[in-house]
Each structure stands twice: as structure tokens, then as C-alpha cells.
Amino acid sequence: MTGIVLLGTIIGGAVLALLRRHNAGFVRKCIDGLAVLAYLGFFAIAAKSVARTLMDGAVFMTQVHEVLLSPIFLASGAYLGPYVFCLLIQQLLGKRGLQ
């Protein structure tokens, strides 16, 4: 399972890097806009779950694990993995890859 996730992240990141590099304008803005939405969804759900656990005074914080059942959390994390990998690839290729 770890291999599938790793392979998906590498392939997804490479596809996003190619799309961002060869498409200026609308496509790049869509890719970046989806990342912003994924970031907001991912961390809003995580923060809500942690805050509720702390307010409830749960000693072992087992309630935090229910966040893993949220479709928004899962979809956001699935997009952010390849997107961040894409940015790292572009950073590795140099300044030109970031344009």
C-alpha cells in the first residue's frame, strides 16, 4: 500500500509539474487554486477535530482519529501530496521551473 501511495504521489507530482511548466495562465491558476482549497479544507477539518478533542477533555485523544473518515480531509490530503511534490520538483529544476 505504501508503494502505491508513493508511486501515485510521484506520478501525480510529475504530471502537475509538467502541466504547470507548459501551461501559463489559466491552467496554472486552476492547479494552484485547487491547492489553496485543499489546504484550507485539510487544515480546517484537522483543527476542528483537535479543538473539539481538547474542549471535550479527551485524555487519550482517540477522537482525533475520526478526522480520517472525512472525505474532504482525504481528498485534500490526496491533492496536497502530489502538489507539494510538484513544487519540490520545480524548485529542484531551478527558478525557470517556478515561472
Segment 68-85, tens digit of pLDDT: 788 888 899 889 989 998
Residue 72: predicted pLDDT: 87
Q: What is the DSSP string of 74-98?
A: HHHHHHHHHHHHHHHHHHHH-GGGG
pTM of the entire predicted model: 0.68
Q: What is the DSSP string of 54-67?
A: HHHT-SS-GGGGGG
Residue 95: predicted pLDDT: 57
pLDDT beneath 70: ranges in the chain: 58-64, 95-99
Taking the C-alpha atoms of residue 37 and residue 30, their distance in angstroms, rounded to an integer, is 10
